[in-house]
Structure 1
């Protein structure tokens, strides 16, 4: 087989390498072309060198090109994969820092909550530019695979406004299933059969079977509470399981942002989180992790390049959906996964226009969703709160309506539990002004926002959050890795 895959945001070096090696684990895909594109020439040069080394080491005919000219990369592409972070870590830091001034403590801040909504405002205009290029220069039947957050908002915009065949992809479901299999004592993940449905990062394991035996709520609670690690790392998640009756896919820290109950009081936050790793609830945890990862990669790049000389091991193919979807579409080997698509009745008690994450099967006829799923009422209610925020956020990003943007932020569950309307209005003004260079649709609103900020009487505070850690130096990271290696 010979076709072209374009990767937008290919400068996300580690993730691009994973996608690349996964795809090349499919024997029929050795003769394809990868077209890499990114706004950073520096990152593009690094990832191209790594991928070229992989191709050379494995004696493959695979072609790799790299360009900052996105349209050139998209020309004739059958598949387009996006893993962009518009505004980079600079804008992301504001997504965490500014809401903290108003008492809003986020662990990740890239899906909803104040940070996720502003992230969507930066991404959506760019996503629509991608879609325009795809319609104009890509293959007629091109498929757009979106890995970028905020997943639901980006996918919603690409489908409704970009008019491109789009699917959103995330690995939260797989990671949750791995946890469940472990606590239940499964010897292999293949022993666990599950149906997981909802919206991205608020997806629910509504049916669990281990070797054909149905697992009920009480057995799952007991299994998690008995686990020596997860019982501490996933305290909030276990509490939600007890109250809702089903387990959520999302990590302890991420889930805490989507609900209005666990992060609204600083003195309560530490009760529900765990500081053993950023993903369990640390304030600004993902920002710290992303910053350390970038610094580590820049410093240790020669080692990454050397590691690329190893043969591709198909047995280590990851559970990221992209390679499996492409394999199913091109070879007709059926793949079952969980995909982010427009609802259109797949989940009976969520709106038709919402972007849902639910089971589907892929073959040469496309992605075919399993329809007729009804969520437990509490799960549907929780999803609905986020869907309404997502819808307003998408429409605000398209129209550049700053008042609608403020209403979207006001209706966010955690923001609404912490902040007053006056605080939300000022916070959004502050974030739009700080991120104006990435928000062209709000250019007309920036002067008035600056004027309001100059006259504001709303009080703010400089606050690091309830559980903030400093970014570790390269020396500290080296010492930690050496200690872990020695312990093993």
Structure 2
């Protein structure tokens, strides 16, 4: 087989390498072309060198090109994969820093909450630019695979306004299933069969079967509470399991910021999170991790390049959906996974226009969703709160309506639990002004926002958050890695 895959945001070096090697684990895909594109020439050069080394080491006919000209990369592409983070870590830092001034403590801030909503405002205009290019220069039947957060908002915009065949992809379901299989004592995650449905980052394991035996709520609670690690790292997630009766896909830290109950009082936050790793609830945890990862990669690049000389091991193919979807579409080997698509009645008690994450099957006829799923009422209610925020956020990003943007932020569950309307109005003004260079649709609103900020009487505070850690230096990371290696 010979076709072209374009990767937008290919400068996400580690993730691009993973997608690349996964796809080349499919025997029929050796003779394809990867077209890499990114706004950073520096990152493009690094990832191309790594992928060229992989091709050379495995004696493959695979072609790799790299360009900052996005349209050139998209020309004739059958599949387009997006891994973009518009504004990079600079804008992301404001997504965490500014809401903290108003008492809003986020762990990740990339899905909803104040940070996730502004992230969407930066991404959606760019996503629509991608879609325009796909319609004009890509293959007639091109499929857009979106990995970028905020997943639901980006996918919603691409489908409703970009008019491109789009599917959103995430790995939260797979990771949650691996946890459940472990606590239940399974020898392999493959022993667990499950139905997981909802919206991205709020997906729920509504049916669990271990080797054909149905697992009920009480058994699952007991298994998690008995686990020596997860009982400490996933305290909030276990509490939601007890109250809702089903387990959420998302990590302790992610889930904590989508709900209005666990992060609204600073003195309560530490009760529900665990500081052993960022993902369990640390304030700004993913920002710290991302910053450290970037610094580590820049410094240790020669080692990454050397590692690329190893043969591809198909047994280590990851559970990221992209390679499996492409394999199913191109070879008709059926793949079952969980995909982000427009609902259109798949989940009976969520709106038709919402972007849901639910089970589907892929073959040469496309992605076929398992329809007729009804969520437990509490799960549906929680999803609905986020869907309403997502819908307003998408419409605000399209229209450049700053008042609608403020209403979207006001209706966010955690923001509403912490902040007053006056605080929300000022916070959004502050975020739009700080991120104006990435928000062209709000250019007309920036002067008035600056004027309001100059006259504001709403009090703020400089606050690091309830559980903040400093970014570790390269020397500290090396020392920790050496200590772990020695301990093993």
Task: Please give the per-residue CA displacement for 1:100-145, whole angstroms capped at 9, x wherever unaligned.
Answer: 0000000000000000000000000000000000000000000000
Structure-2 separation of matches of 1:61 and 1:481: 36
1:43 aligns with 2:43: yes
SS at match of 2:257: helix
Q: Secondary structure at the match of 1:346?
A: coil
CA distance in 2, matches of 1:196, 1:110: 21
| Equivalent-residue separation in structure 2 for 1:190 and 1:49 (angstroms) | 35
**Structure-1 separation of matches of 2:169 and 2:67:** 24
Q: Distance in 2 between matches of 1:249 and 1:17?
A: 25
User: Per-residue CA shift, 1:401-440, capped at 9, x if unaligned?
Assistant: 0000000000000000000000000000000000000000
Partner secondary structure for residue 76 of structure 1: coil
- TM-aligned CA deviation for residue 158 of structure 1: 0.0
Alpha-carbon distance in structure 1 between the residues aligned to 2:191 and 2:59: 36
Instruction: Give the CA deviation at 1:24.
Output: 0.1
Match runs of 1:14-53 below 5 Å: 14-53=14-53
Deviation of 1:190 after TM superposition, in Å, equals 1.0
Alignment deviations for residues 437-464 of structure 1 (CA, whole Å, 9 cap, x no partner): 0000000000000000000000000000
Q: Aligned equivalents of 1:265 and 1:36: distance in 2?
A: 44
Deviations along 1:70-113, one digit per CA (max 9) or x if unpaired, are 00000000000000000000000000000000000000000000
Paired residue secondary structure (2:196) = strand
SS at the partner of 2:458? coil
Q: Residue by residue, what CA displacement relative to the aligned partner does 1:18-43 show, whole Å, maximum 9, x if unpaired?
A: 00000000000000000000000000
CA RMSD of aligned residues (A): 0.1
Q: CA deviation at 1:305?
A: 0.0
Residues 387-406 of structure 1: CA distance to partner in whole angstroms, max 9, x if unpaired?
00000000000000000000
How far residue 351 of structure 1 moved from its aligned partner, in angstroms, is: 0.0
Distance (Å, rounded) in 1 between the aligned partners of 2:486 and 2:52 = 33
Give the Cα–Cα distance (whole angstroms) in 1 for the partners of residues 15 and 234 of structure 2. 26
CA drift at 1:154 = 0.1
CA-to-aligned-CA distance 1:329-366 (integer Å, 9 cap, x gap): 00000000000000000000000000000000000000
Q: Aligned partners of 1:445 and 1:91: how far apart in 2?
A: 19
Paired residue for 1:285?
Answer: 285
CA deviations on 1:50-86 (whole Å, 9 max, x unpaired) are 0000000000000000000000000000000000000
C-alpha displacement of 1:204 = 0.1
TM-score, normalisation: structure 2: 1.00
- Structure 2: distance between partners of 1:234 and 1:14: 27
Alignment of 1:429-448 (within 5 A): 429-448=429-448
Structure 2: distance between partners of 1:283 and 1:20: 32
- Tell whether 2:185 aligns with 1:161: no
- 2:392 matched to which residue of 1? 392
Q: Secondary structure of 1:458's partner?
A: coil
CA distance in 1, matches of 2:214, 2:344: 29
Give distance in 2, aligned partners of 1:118 and 1:258.
15
Deviations along 1:160-208, whole A, 9 cap, x unmatched?
Answer: 0000000000000000000000000000111100000000000000000
CA distances 1:248-294 after superposition (whole Å, capped 9, x unpaired): 00000000000000000000000000000000000000000000000
Cα distance in 2 between the residues matched to 1:430 and 1:261: 26
Q: How many residues align?
A: 488
1:258 partner SS: coil
Structure 2 unaligned spans of 5+: none
Aligned partners of 1:485, 1:364: CA distance in 2, in Å?
45
Runs of 5+ unmatched residues, structure 1 = none
Output the CA distance in 2 between the equivalents of 1:168 and 1:255: 19
Equivalent residue of 1:433, what SS? helix
Deviation at 1:218, TM superposition (A): 0.1
Structure 2 CA distance, aligned partners of 1:334 and 1:230?
33
Distance 1:423 1:236 in 2: 27
1:352 and 1:200 mapped to 2: Cα distance? 15
Tell me the equivalent position of 1:97: 97
**Partner of 1:372: helix, strand, or coil?**
coil
Deviations 1:229-251 (A, max 9, x none): 00000000000000000000000
SS of 2:51's partner is helix
- TM-aligned CA deviation for residue 2 of structure 1: 0.1
Q: TM-score, normalised by structure 1?
A: 1.00
- Which structure 2 residues correspond to residues 59-74 of structure 1 after superposition, within 5 A? 59-74=59-74
